[in-house]
Chains A and B, each alone.
Chain A
């Protein structure tokens, strides 16, 4: 009996396999080839990562185009390791902040500050820390690079996840509680889906910014310690040493290919997939599309194989009925005292940290040094502000022109996002050559480099803003024959303002980071230098002068935080309040 029934089941399974619904179709074949290739690449790259550190010396980066695909792969793996780390961090820390008020009091201000700290200035610390952690393996150096990329990505992702968790619509929250979803089910069915659109967008922004750090983190030297991890960044650095212009061009090409591939195989499928989580009860007009996602959705065998994995995930912890009753709130006086105690613990910790930093700096540096750093800071500040103004004057009219023409804006939008993801430091050598050849003043002509990579944020935000201008307002502006200046002053500028401020804020933050690599540049043995805080940090890092690096990093963080608090935040709040359409 038992055999018979199990036989029957087996036969059923086989028959089902033979039937059309489980047999692989042509989409399966394409998808399987792609997935297989992907798996091989990951395994190969990961194995390389774990080699002993001597391997880096015995097998240096060579400028052989045949090796370039492998270098590109290694760079890409670093990027994805960092993004995976950032996601783990986001789910853990942001969830903690959203669920516990005590944790929130510490985590949110820290995220807020970490978000605006220029990560490049901390390169030296990260490196020494990780290399110390795994002294014998390449993993230590890899870890340092990945951690550096991670620190450029994690904060805004965690912030967006936290904000989503805090703004879950109350009716869905009540429905989830009323039907008794367990915490894990609640996470899978409610919290994660609701947070997905914002998280995907922030992950994309983080990845775009991340390529810059991938390139910057692969070849580095702190004092006498210097490393070169196989990757596009190291290739570039070797090319600069050898003054090999063709090799630089190869790097630019490889980077472009990598970014196009990641855009087509990762970015677009995820954005198209995440569209279904948008919290709207009406269907959107233009749905994002992705050929790769369509391909995966059309597969038959793969979909069948993936299904049980998905089911397993939702059953991971045994289904348990949780209490629907809310916990009784704490006695108010007790809660108040507990809060005070918690505040004093945090206060003490902050005080201790400040005292430690100041006493460390005071031991090895004097006040003159600090004044130099602050003075240099004003040079860089001036550079950032002037360039934001220049970039705005150029890109706002162009962005508006494009945004008002729907046929163009779709394509240009994609191009601007591609350019924002493209690491500008790969193009630096061309600029340096031009400055050297034309004998230009580096104090002025190195400046445009700091906004080279970040100006695109202004462009694509303005395009987005201009294409979101409502049609009825456009018609009203046309009907009353507004003069050109009046049309800009009363209609277009206010309409795009919230978008423009977002773009300018992002560009400003990125420019401070770029200043660390843009204010001192080399081409072979020629080194060009512009006065500024970025140069201050870069020189201290190269010299292995840790106290001066710490000073520079602290001053730069203070500059950026002050700028954000006193200029960008108030501007943004003003624009949101007064100019938000709808």
Chain B
């Protein structure tokens, strides 16, 4: 693969061009490789905000880091162009989800960091940093340390630190997801104001997010990613005029449309069980607490006609798509619910569960886990077959690692342990990492 920084001949050329990008984690030494990105193309033009939207595991952060030059992708080309112009903007700068501020440096020193790396003289550094701090609304906090600031203030420092090096492209990696709702909204509005007034020295913004509303609110163009492996499944142009209103019917329609696309079953059903990667024993499970599953079933049962719209549900429950979909899909895996488009509906078993008492619920759950989660049935069978009714957990973990990466195997084991304990189909002992059939009850 190649990564190049070049000076284009004409201004009309895109700022970033990514072609056939592929990235594999895990290297080639034994075990299963994990395909994170597969055949991704991306073009970023001057003057636009582009959103990369997808669930975790969709490789959107990997794509962003490839453009930032922090990761060398396995294959494909990344071209980042420095446009000649009368301003000094060039290159890329990044804003991090966790802010990535140096806790031992003051706000001013943090902002000066990139300039110091470039060898800008102290006086110029100071003036430019002060200007950036001023622009972002942090004046008065120059000498504060990050630990003295609120989350929103810290992300402002992160933004000032990126802007001060005058990048032509601003890369943002879920910049608002570590903030509370109100603070995030204020920061988004401030950023859009600065952008529309042309007060930032940048030509384009590339924003990674898993929040659909955020993408629709801010972006001119949205690329929707599928997960495992990450591919671009849709490119959506947002033509709504700024400033956009969340309650505008056109806005809502667009959000609902994207929800439907993200929950759509993939065209190639060969290796899929619901939306989970892998089949049979090799199904990758998400560790969702049984309380959450029960809560979701009750919420759905309370809805009229036991049927609900996922995007309404997400708003009502204050859950992001990244949090809501795994819950919905786990219910679907166990046949407690069915997802069709962006609608989710309880099955008769799901309704029975909602009406049952504590012990009946456990019984229903146990039947469904054994029937529809092959790993649970497998563990139970092994425990039944052995005279001692015991088995080390490492045995099953090893089996899983034939199908999936170590991290996924760990998550899958956590899920099966929680569900198995709740359903009382087996016990797990953390001290010596083993399963058994003995029940304290």
Whether both chains belong to one complex is answered with yes
A residues contacting B by CB (< 8 A) are 169, 171-172, 174-175, 177-182, 185, 189-190, 193, 276-283, 311, 314, 318-321, 324-326, 328-329, 332, 336
From A182, A189, A282, A336, give the contact of B102 (CB < 8 A).
Answer: A189
Using Cβ atoms and an 8 Å threshold, which residues of chain A touch B72? 325-326, 328
B188 lies within 8 A of chain A by Cβ: no
Using Cβ atoms and an 8 Å threshold, which residues of chain B touch A171? 96-100
Q: Are A180 and B114 in contact (CB under 8 A)?
A: yes
Assess A332 versus B28: contact at CB under 8 Å? Given A172-B100, A279-B103, A283-B147.
Answer: yes
Q: Are A324 and B100 in contact (CB under 8 A)?
A: no
Min CB distance B208 to A, Å, is 14
A545 to B189, CA, bound (A): 81
Of residues 134 through 159 on chain B, the ones whose CB sits less than 8 Å from some CB of chain A are 145-148, 154
A174 to B99, CA, bound (A): 11
- Of the 9-residue stretches B115-123, B257-265, B287-295, which lies at the interface with chain A? B115-123
Q: Mark B48-78, 1 if CB is under 8 A from A, else 0.
A: 0000000000000000010011111000000
Min CB distance B78 to A, Å, is 10
Q: Are A324 and B70 in contact (CB under 8 A)?
A: yes
Using Cβ atoms and an 8 Å threshold, which residues of chain A touch B3? 325
Nearest chain A residue, comparing its CB with the CB of B122: A311
The 3 closest A-B pairs by CB, nearest first: A319-B119, A179-B114, A171-B100
Q: Are A281 and B147 in contact (CB under 8 A)?
A: yes
A172 to B99, CA, bound (A): 9
Using Cβ atoms and an 8 Å threshold, which residues of chain A touch B96? 171, 174-175
Q: Are B118 and A178 in contact (CB under 8 A)?
A: no
Assess A182 versus B104: contact at CB under 8 Å? Given A174-B96, A276-B145, A332-B29.
Answer: no
Q: Mark B18-33, 1 if CB is under 8 A from A, else 0.
A: 0000000001110000
Min CB distance A494 to B, Å, is 14
Min CB distance B70 to A, Å, is 5
A399 to B101, CA, bound (A): 39
Q: Are B69 and A324 in contact (CB under 8 A)?
A: yes
From B29, B117, B145, give the contact of A321 (CB < 8 A).
Answer: B117
Using Cβ atoms and an 8 Å threshold, which residues of chain B touch A185? 116-117
Q: Are B105 and A189 in contact (CB under 8 A)?
A: yes
Assess A281 versus B103: contact at CB under 8 Å? Given A178-B70, A325-B69, A332-B28.
Answer: yes
A336 to B70, CA, bound (A): 25
Using Cβ atoms and an 8 Å threshold, which residues of chain A touch B100? 169, 171-172, 174-175
Assess A180 versus B118: contact at CB under 8 Å? Given A171-B98, A277-B104, A328-B72.
Answer: yes
Nearest chain A residue, comparing its CB with the CB of B99: A171
A319 to B69, CA, bound (A): 20
- Secondary structure at the A interface, as helix, strand, loop or mixed, is loop
B94 lies within 8 A of chain A by Cβ: yes
Nearest chain B residue, comparing its CB with the CB of A181: B117
A-B contact pairs, 28 of them (CB 8 A): A171-B96, A171-B100, A174-B65, A174-B68, A174-B70, A174-B96, A177-B70, A178-B70, A179-B93, A179-B113, A180-B114, A181-B113, A185-B116, A189-B105, A189-B113, A193-B104, A276-B104, A276-B145, A279-B103, A280-B103, A319-B118, A319-B119, A321-B118, A321-B119, A324-B69, A325-B3, A332-B27, A332-B29
Using Cβ atoms and an 8 Å threshold, which residues of chain A touch B379? none
Min CB distance A389 to B, Å, is 26
From B29, B104, B119, B148, give the contact of A283 (CB < 8 A).
Answer: B148
Q: Are A282 and B147 in contact (CB under 8 A)?
A: yes
Min CB distance B171 to A, Å, is 9
Using Cβ atoms and an 8 Å threshold, which residues of chain B touch A189? 102, 105, 113
Min CB distance A190 to B, Å, is 7
A332 to B31, CA, bound (A): 14
B165 lies within 8 A of chain A by Cβ: yes
Besides the known contacts A175-B100, A179-B117, A278-B103, 18 further A-B residue pairs in the complex with CB atoms under 8 A apart:
A174-B68, A174-B94, A175-B102, A178-B68, A178-B92, A178-B93, A179-B114, A181-B113, A181-B117, A182-B117, A277-B104, A279-B103, A280-B147, A283-B148, A319-B116, A319-B119, A321-B118, A336-B29
Assess A281 versus B105: contact at CB under 8 Å? Given A177-B70, A321-B117.
Answer: no
Nearest chain B residue, comparing its CB with the CB of A332: B28
Min CB distance B8 to A, Å, is 20
Using Cβ atoms and an 8 Å threshold, which residues of chain B touch A276? 104, 145
Using Cβ atoms and an 8 Å threshold, which residues of chain B touch A328? 72
Min CB distance A357 to B, Å, is 37
A282 to B147, CA, bound (A): 5
Using Cβ atoms and an 8 Å threshold, which residues of chain A touch B145? 276
Using Cβ atoms and an 8 Å threshold, which residues of chain B touch A332? 27-29
Using Cβ atoms and an 8 Å threshold, which residues of chain B touch A321? 117-119
A444 to B317, CA, bound (A): 72
Q: Are A172 and B102 in contact (CB under 8 A)?
A: yes
Min CB distance B224 to A, Å, is 25
From B98, B103, B165, give the contact of A179 (CB < 8 A).
Answer: B165
A177 to B114, CA, bound (A): 10
Q: Are B104 and A319 in contact (CB under 8 A)?
A: no
Min CB distance B313 to A, Å, is 32
A464 to B288, CA, bound (A): 37
From B99, B102, B147, give the contact of A190 (CB < 8 A).
Answer: B102
Nearest chain B residue, comparing its CB with the CB of A278: B103
Using Cβ atoms and an 8 Å threshold, which residues of chain A touch B117? 179-182, 185, 319, 321
A165 to B77, CA, bound (A): 32
A278 to B161, CA, bound (A): 22
Min CB distance B126 to A, Å, is 12
A168 to B147, CA, bound (A): 18
Min CB distance A310 to B, Å, is 12
Pick the most buried of B100, B117, B147, B148: most chain A CB atoms within 10 A of its CB.
B117
Using Cβ atoms and an 8 Å threshold, which residues of chain B touch A172? 100, 102
Of residues 370 through 409 on chain B, the ones whose CB sits less than 8 Å from some CB of chain A are none
Min CB distance B121 to A, Å, is 10
Min CB distance A286 to B, Å, is 15
A330 to B145, CA, bound (A): 41
Nearest chain A residue, comparing its CB with the CB of B116: A185
Using Cβ atoms and an 8 Å threshold, which residues of chain B touch A314? 116
Using Cβ atoms and an 8 Å threshold, which residues of chain A touch B104? 193, 276-277
Using Cβ atoms and an 8 Å threshold, which residues of chain B touch A280? 103, 147
From A169, A178, A279, give the contact of B94 (CB < 8 A).
Answer: A178
Using Cβ atoms and an 8 Å threshold, which residues of chain B touch A324? 68-70
A189 to B104, CA, bound (A): 9
A279 to B147, CA, bound (A): 10
A430 to B51, CA, bound (A): 77
Min CB distance A198 to B, Å, is 14
Using Cβ atoms and an 8 Å threshold, which residues of chain A touch B146? 281
Using Cβ atoms and an 8 Å threshold, which residues of chain A touch B113? 175, 179, 181, 189
A321 to B120, CA, bound (A): 11
Pick the most buried of B27, B71, B119, B165: most chain A CB atoms within 10 A of its CB.
B119
Min CB distance B167 to A, Å, is 10
Min CB distance A236 to B, Å, is 42
Min CB distance A575 to B, Å, is 14
Using Cβ atoms and an 8 Å threshold, which residues of chain B touch A283? 147-148
A172 to B161, CA, bound (A): 13
Using Cβ atoms and an 8 Å threshold, which residues of chain A touch B103? 277-281
A185 to B93, CA, bound (A): 18
Using Cβ atoms and an 8 Å threshold, which residues of chain B touch A182? 117
Pick the most buried of B71, B103, B148: most chain A CB atoms within 10 A of its CB.
B103
Min CB distance A387 to B, Å, is 32
Min CB distance B373 to A, Å, is 29
Nearest chain A residue, comparing its CB with the CB of B3: A325
A319 to B121, CA, bound (A): 11
